[in-house]
Amino acid sequence: MSELAVEVRGLRKAYGPVVAVAGIDLSVRHGEIFALIGPNGAGKTTTLEILEGHRRADAGHVRVLDEDPARNEITFKQRIGIVLQSTSIQPYLTVEETIEQFRGYYPAPRPLDELIDIVGLAASRKKLVRRLSGGQQRRLDVAIGLAGDPELLFLDEPTTGFDPAARRSAWEMIRGLKSVGKTVLLTTHYMDEAQALADTVSIIRRGLIVAEGTPDELRAGQAETVISFRFAGSSDDLPPMAAAATFENGRAVLLTTDPTTALHELTGWAKARGEALEGLSVTPASLEDVYLGLTGDEAQ
């Protein structure tokens, strides 16, 4: 068995003149949570659909659980679980009936009660699907994705539209899958989600991977420190090191890769001038800052 659950080299896919995936490599290890993050139209769903065997690649090498998904083998389908970005489930079945229907497609499905518990739908098990809230329907999508007890689960934007509490419980559920040895490949728009969940984060923009690593590595690669303090003047009133400062809500904000020197100059200047540097704060750039820096104004 390969040590990789998913191996992609040079993957390309165009829809007519639109290049959705422009040559990407991905390596997902067995048992990890891997997040593919990027703005609208970056190529996330296209990539996932190719890995699931739902769409043909134009070029590139793709192996998922040591198989070629394009061959559409039934044995392959039984080893993966899929939660699509948008699904259409029968609205007039109940939660239980829906899960039972999907369990029927697999040789060794997970027990019904277990599936209902994992996604937290115990209180709604007799409800009609059409009476579920958006978040509850998404949970049901996940239960369906898990029905065959897959080794590898694909989740396309699992928490879009969730309230903060529902999102936290979805994260717990996804961590739970990892703790029982499953591999999870998810897409998201949310950097906090990638940071909270993923062992490896890959940032995709316009069909290309622009950065990849653990959340810590991604932050370190771009290490910028944010220095800010209350300040009513303009950059002309600050020392030269602060020439690039921006001003937000009565605060001066400085980004630096050398915080020791920057703080030394800033505090030296302040002492000489009798400035108090009120509300001085020094914080590391967040992963969100890194993401926005790499994806630019396409990210929302």
- Of 34-42, 61-69, 74-82, 127-135, the window that binds ligand ATP (rule: CB under 6 A) is 34-42
DSSP result, 196-209: HH-SEEEEEETTEE
> What is the C-alpha separation between 100 and 97, in angstroms, rounded?
5
DSSP result, 220-257: HHT--EEEEEE--S-GGGS-GGGTT-EEETTEEEEEES
Q: Work out which of 85, 169, 225, 235 binds ligand ATP, going by CB under 6 A.
A: 85
Minimum distance from residue 173 beta carbon to ligand ATP (Å): 21
Residue 29 backbone dihedrals phi, psi, to 5 degrees: -80, 150
Q: Is residue 46 a contact point for ligand ATP (CB under 6 A)?
A: yes
Binding marks (x or -) toward Mg ion, 83..112, rule CB under 5 A?
--x---------------------------
Minimum distance from residue 40 beta carbon to ligand ATP (Å): 4
Q: Is residue 98 a contact point for ligand ATP (CB under 6 A)?
A: no
Minimum distance from residue 52 beta carbon to ligand ATP (Å): 13
Residues 6+ apart with CB under 8 A from 88: none
CB atoms within 10 A of CB 187: 26
Within 10-29, which residues bind ligand ATP (CB under 6 A)? 15, 18, 20
> What is the C-alpha separation between 53 and 69, in angstroms, rounded?
4
Q: Is residue 42 a contact point for ligand ATP (CB under 6 A)?
A: yes
Cα 72 to chain center, whole Å?
27
Minimum distance from residue 46 beta carbon to ligand ATP (Å): 3
Q: Work out which of 8, 42, 45, 266 binds Mg ion, going by CB under 5 A.
A: 45
Identity of the residue numbered 287? L
Minimum distance from residue 206 beta carbon to ligand ATP (Å): 9
| Binding at 123: pick from ligand ATP, Mg ion, none (beta carbon under 5-8 Å per type) | none
> What is the C-alpha separation between 162 and 136, in angstroms, rounded?
9
DSSP result, 5-53: EEEEEEEEEEETTEEEEEEEEEEEETT-EEEEE--TTSSHHHHHHHHHT
| Binding at 41: pick from Mg ion, ligand ATP, none (beta carbon under 5-8 Å per type) | ligand ATP
Judged by CB under 6 A, how many residues of this single chain contact ligand ATP?
Answer: 12
| Binding at 86: pick from Mg ion, ligand ATP, none (beta carbon under 5-8 Å per type) | none
Minimum distance from residue 193 beta carbon to ligand ATP (Å): 13
**End-to-end Cα spacing for the chain:** 40
The structure tokens listed for 15 are 């829809």
Minimum distance from residue 64 beta carbon to ligand ATP (Å): 17
Binding site for Mg ion (CB under 5 A): 44-45, 85
Binding site for ligand ATP (CB under 6 A): 15, 18, 20, 38, 40-46, 85
